[in-house]
Chain A
Amino acid sequence: MDDLSKEELEQLLGVFRDQSLQILEDMDQELLTLESGGVTDEAMARLRRAAHTIKGDSACIGLDGVTEVAHQLEDVFDAILNRQMQFGSGVVDLILDSLDAMRAAIGGEEVDDLTPEIAQHLTEGIRSAIVAEEVEAPLLTARSKSSVVTRTEDDCDIKQQDVLRRRDYVRVDAAKIDALLNLAGEMVIARSVINQIGPRLEEALPKSDLTDKFGSSSAQMGKLIAELQKSVLKMRMVTIDQVFRRFARPMRELAAESGKQVELSISGSETELDRALVDLLYEPILHLLRNAVDHGLETREERLALGKPEVGRISMRAYHEGNQVVVEIADDGRGINAEMLRQKAMKAGQISEADALQMPEEEALELLFLEGLSTAKEVTLVSGRGVGAAAVKSAMEHLRGSVAVKSQQGVGTTFVLRMPLTLAIIRALLFTANGKLLALPLLTISEIARAQTSEVTLLDGVENYRLRDRFISIVRPGVVLGFERRSLSSSGAGLRAGGQRFFIIIVSIGNRKYGVVADTLIGEQELVIKPLDSRWVQNEAMAGAAVLGDGQVVLIMDAETLLRRAIRYERAQGQGRVTNAG
């Protein structure tokens, strides 16, 4: 077998150099992030893969020194992943040194191997670190290169300089922060009890110095506790840059794959969000970017013919809105054909013809997220678009977030991902149903209606409530959670006989609404979510539980699951099948 020609080798070296430098840069970033935040398995696995890729590639090129060092790095990350080794400052320095050395060798004028001496020095250092299984130092200094402006004595000569900034970090176990957060949450609850006592105290006791003092100091305490909670939450926060920046390489490859020219613009990368969200957000965003490149953007020729700029634009934007983090992914491509979606959904039997005709444009776009629709076989505009849309939706639901889509044909498509700032605390509406204390995330609630049993109508065996111009299905938490035995229809009859008044909490998810029946409303409150042990509780309609200040346990319901459980498809008013149960 003859070897590769010189020309071929040159070409391969170029590819190798570009890819490796990018990977080394990513690894650098990843390591620095790990140093300031906590170590996650996902990040370690990414590092291991990165080292693995460099190892394999450099072996083919014949850079034995780089291969050997990359191999050692792969082993280190593997050892850390397998808990055979701690991720400590000593190792980090060794790793960073190795990355620097590889970068210098590969990124020079010509791609070069590490000298045997350096390679040996590095591999031995790393190997002994693995063997020594060293204990991490509690305080470490992170290396962080940054460009800062320094002022000289006479205060006029300003120059930029690359300096090694020393920042002090205390490495803290993430679990400790979570414990602190829990405590802060408990304090919030305890405060709410005091808040309730306040007014009653004022009623019971004559106004005096004492009651005034109680009032002011409890208000002060409230403020401090809120601050405390915020500070602890901040400890868990990282900037979304950590997610965004990971897309640079995949995007370049995606663009190359599809042969399209793409410009990715990123804004709001300083937006902070819960650390736990970082890894969970990567996949959904990647899905959307992939679809944008693959199916959203037209080919170069098509764009030119349409008079659009040759280079396709994709933008990622993050910002805070209320208690939510919002990420928008927009392209200026061909947009989604809602009509085709309707047709497809009809053919797939997901909606009836009548529904399809009635369905407004915005709802038709939501069809994109239907499971069955997205797996259509032929790669067409719409089906291709659908690849993974259902997966994105379920990933976002998993984060207690949502995904929505806006699109205009010929102009572009925007996906809007929303998720809570933190996964640890939610603002919830407390209410009782069948005497049980329950809560729903406030973010999902759009309004609350007072209803009478006579206003409940049976449509196709599903209880419906008329909210202004449309019927919405209603859900009885008792039935879903299994402590109310009565079937829907008989319970409807029971209610009718009683003629009671009750509340219907209107929950809206995406573009759909449904109602949840409640006996009494208690109020809104911040709840620290405690996960339910799946060994004991197997009801996916519950997102978790929380303990109130007085020790009462409140179950937090999962709004998405409720929707799926109880709704077929809501129908617009005035359709033939409506039968008034009254």
Chain B
Amino acid sequence: MQDNRRKIRVLVVDDSALMRKLISKLLERDEEIEVIATAIDGYFALSKVAQLKPDVVTLDVDMPRMDGITALNEMVSKHQIPVIMLSSLTTRGAALTMQALEKGAVDFICKPKSAAQVGEMADELLSKVKGAVHSNVLALNAQSADGKTPTRKKVTSPPPRRAEYKIVAVGASSGGPHALRYLLPRLPADLDAGIVIVQHMPESFTSMMARWLDDICDLEVREARDGDLAIPGRALIAPGNRHMKVKRTAAGCEVRLDDGPLVNGHRPSVDVLFRSVAEQFGSSATGLIMTGMGSDGAQGLGDMKKAGGLTIAQDKESCSVYGMPRAAQDRGAVVKVLALTEMPTYVIGTVGRMVDLEESYAGTR
């Protein structure tokens, strides 16, 4: 951490004077961070970015005149500065945020919905700003703009009647949307496992993210509903504010949603999902713990390993925040450590493809 001697220089952009003040205050309580300027809208932000070259920008997604997205575009493409979006907890905010992530924003934070959440936001803000400094903006941008279009052949095959169902369970938090946006489009529709995902995100955001991923994936990606089947070719994302568990039934791998208490401060919690996967699927499960703050999922991943499952953690270099994978490693819950770029091939190699898919298709035609 030698390079952290110099303070992280942050530009705060928000159209509300109160928010500018509040965010600056929260950031400046950390000794490693210095707020070098604030701006009331995109125009000002751009000229200040050009002038001051901040290390990180926090940007309100929804502003009058030049909005956040337009400003973001230029910050990312011209100046390669890591940008963290500040979003409101609304559908509109969620849509704009997804758009921003696609355009190369490093991460996002939701504005507090009550005074009680201010402290919570402060923690998130600090760790995300610190995480953002080291993120590779160009890579994010290239990653989202690599122009891969899905083949648009969604598998709507009936669940294969087999004794052994395989499942891939994924847990992610900060930086997760980008990581998922890298991983999921690279998994084939005939991957021999259903996929279940917990990404820490508020309510309106998860459905927006599912749609956002679905558009670029060969897999079918959607927000999970209670009773949905995680069949091969499908990835189910736990909806914000609900826990997701899996259950092995006659029909296949069924997901169950519930409103149980927060676990590790989260709902959905990765631990809740992973524990149920360990219990229900044992050695036919693969667990992926990806970028994110905190330690949610570490314990569950340990359970999966004990039950004979294959457990994988994202490596430090490719994580935007190396928290959850580290916690899992510290607990000895990890079988294999992989860079994000290695994950798709490795998962396909270990889980396998549904070899009989084409045959069965040929049979039905």
Q: State whether B64 touches A12 (Cβ < 8 A).
A: no
Find out whether the CB atom of B115 lies under 8 angstroms from the CB atom of A60: yes
Whether the Cβ atoms of B115 and A12 lie closer than 8 Å is no
A59 to B112, CA, bound (A): 7
Give the distance in Å from the alpha carbon of A202 to the alpha carbon of B94 in the complex.
74
CB <8 Å contact, A3 and B119:
yes
Contact B111 A60 (CB under 8 A): yes
Q: Which of B21, B50, B113 contacts A15 (CB 8 A)?
A: B21
On whether the beta carbons of B112 and A253 are closer than 8 Å, the reply is: no
**Chain B contacts with A in 96-152, Cβ cutoff 8 A:** 111-116, 118-120, 122-123
Q: If A1-B120, A60-B115, A61-B115 touch, does A52 touch B18 (CB 8 Å cutoff)? A: no
Query: In the docked arrangement, what's the CA distance between A3 and B121, Å?
Result: 12
Q: Contacts A283-B65, A377-B50 hold; do A15 and B17 have CB atoms under 8 A apart?
A: yes
A286 surroundings in chain B (CB, below 8 A) = 65
Q: Say yes or no: A19-B18 contact (C-beta < 8 A), given A254-B40, A387-B47.
A: yes
How many Å from the CB of A553 to the closest CB on chain B? 40
A56 touches B115 (CB 8 A): no
Q: Is B190 in the interface zone, CB < 8 Å from A?
A: no
Is B15 an interface residue, CB under 8 A from the partner? yes
User: How close is B95's CB to chain A, nearest CB, in angstroms?
Assistant: 13
- Compute how far the CA of A257 lies from the CA of B112 in the bound complex, rounded to whole angstroms: 25
CB pair B43–A290 under 8 Å, yes or no, is: yes
CB-contact partner of A67 in B17, B47, B114, under 8 A: B114
Q: Does A241 contact B (CB under 8 A)?
A: no
Say yes or no: is A116 at the interface (Cβ < 8 Å to chain B). no
Alpha-carbon distance A24/B213, docked complex (angstroms): 40
User: How many angstroms between the C-alpha atoms of A343 and B120 in the bound complex?
Assistant: 53
Rounded to whole angstroms, the CA-CA distance of A377 and B38 in the bound complex is 20
Inter-subunit contact B50/A16 (CB<8 Å):
no
CB-CB nearest in chain A for B16: A53
User: Is A8 interfacial (CB 8 A cutoff)?
Assistant: yes
A61 CA / B122 CA spacing, docked (Å)? 14
- Residue of B at shortest CB range from A8? B25
The CA-CA distance from A283 to B64 in the complex, in Å, is 11
Q: How far is the CA of A12 from the CA of B22 in the complex (A)?
A: 7
Give the distance in Å from the alpha carbon of A250 to the alpha carbon of B39 in the complex: 12
Residue of A nearest to B91 (CB): A78
- The answer for the CA separation of A4 and B116 in the assembled complex, in Å, is 11
Question: With an 8 A cutoff between CB atoms, is B350 at the interface?
Answer: no
Bound-state CA distance A12–B20 (Å) is 10
Q: Specify which chain A residues have a CB less than 8 angstroms from the CB of B120 in the assembled complex.
A: 1
User: Is B88 at the interface (CB under 8 A from chain A)?
Assistant: yes
Question: How many Å lie between the Cα of A182 and that of B88 in the bound state?
Answer: 45
Contact, CB under 8 Å: A56 / B118 = no
Taken together as a complex, chains A and B put the C-alpha atoms of A384 and B44 apart, in Å, by 11
- Smallest Cβ distance from A286 to chain B, in angstroms? 7
* Complex interface residues of chain A between 46 and 93 (CB less than 8 A to chain B): 46, 49, 52-53, 56-57, 59-62, 64, 67
B26 to chain A, nearest CB (A): 8
For B38, the chain A residues whose CB sits under 8 A away are 257
The interface residues of chain B lying within 8 Å CB-to-CB of A60 are 18-19, 22, 111-112, 115, 118
Using A4-B118, A12-B25 as known contacts, say yes or no to A56 and B88 having CB atoms under 8 A apart. yes
The reply to whether the CB of A358 lies closer than 8 angstroms to some CB of chain B is: no
Residue in A1, A15, A257, A378 whose CB lies within 8 Å of B39: A257
A170 to B180, CA, bound (A): 56
Q: How far is the CA of A53 from the CA of B15 in the complex (A)?
A: 8
| Smallest CB separation, A53 vs chain B (Å) | 5
How many of chain B's residues touch chain A, expressed as a range? 20 to 34
| CB-based contact A62/B18 at 8 Å | no
| Interface check B192, CB cutoff 8 A | no
Q: Which residues of A contact B364 (CB under 8 A)?
A: none
Closest to B47 in A: A379
Cβ of A273 to closest chain B Cβ, rounded Å = 22
Given the known inter-chain contacts A49-B64, A60-B118, A377-B50, please indicate yes or no for A387 contacting B21, CB distance below 8 A.
Answer: no
Q: Residues 31-57 of chain A: 1 if any B CB is under 8 Å from the residue's CB, otherwise 0? A: 000000000000000100100110011
List of A residues within 8 angstroms of B303 by Cβ: none
Cβ contacts A507-536/B at 8 Å (1 or 0 each): 000000000000000000000000000000
Across the interface, do A61 and B44 meet the contact criterion of CB distance under 8 Å?
Answer: no
Taking the closest CB of chain A, its distance from the CB of B64, in whole angstroms, is 6
Q: Report A-chain residues with C-beta under 8 Å of the C-beta of B112.
A: 59-60
Within 8 Å CB of B25, what residues of A?
A: 4, 8, 12
The answer to whether B47 touches A1, judged by C-beta atoms less than 8 angstroms apart, is no
How many angstroms from the CA of A212 to the CA of B116 in the assembled complex? 86
- Residue A580 interfacial (CB < 8 Å): no
Q: Does chain B have a CB within 8 A of A144? A: no
A11 near B: Cβ within 8 Å?
yes
Given contacts A12-B21, A49-B64, A379-B47, contact A59 B115 (CB under 8 A): yes
B62 adjacent to chain A (CB < 8 Å):
yes
A11 to chain B: closest CB distance in Å?
A: 7
The residues of B that contact A387 with a CB separation of less than 8 Å are 43, 47
Chain A residues near B2 (CB-CB < 8 A): none
Q: What does the 1/0 interface line of A1-21 toward B look like (CB < 8 Å)?
A: 111100010011001101100
**Whose C-beta in chain A lies nearest to the C-beta of B21?**
A15
Q: Is B51 an interface residue (CB 8 A)?
A: yes
- Chain A residue nearest to B51 in the complex (CB): A379
* Interface hits, B15-62 → A, CB 8 Å: 15-19, 21-22, 25, 38-40, 43-44, 47, 50-51, 62
Q: Are B122 and A1 in contact (CB under 8 A)?
A: yes
From the candidates B18, B113, B116, B118, name the one contacting A16 in the complex (CB within 8 A).
Answer: B18
Nearest-neighbor residue (CB-CB) of A253 within chain B? B40
For residue B43, which residue of chain A has the nearest CB? A290
Chain A residues in 8 Å Cβ range of B39? 257
Interchain Cβ contacts under 8 Å between A and B, 20 examples: A1-B120, A11-B21, A12-B25, A49-B64, A56-B16, A56-B88, A56-B111, A57-B19, A60-B111, A60-B112, A60-B118, A62-B114, A62-B116, A250-B40, A253-B40, A257-B40, A283-B65, A290-B43, A387-B47, A388-B43
**Nearest 9 CB-CB pairings of A with B:** A62-B115, A1-B119, A57-B18, A16-B18, A19-B17, A253-B40, A53-B16, A15-B18, A15-B17
Question: Other CB < 8 Å A-B pairs besides A290-B43, A388-B43, 10 of them?
Answer: A4-B25, A11-B21, A52-B62, A52-B88, A56-B19, A57-B16, A62-B114, A379-B50, A384-B47, A387-B47
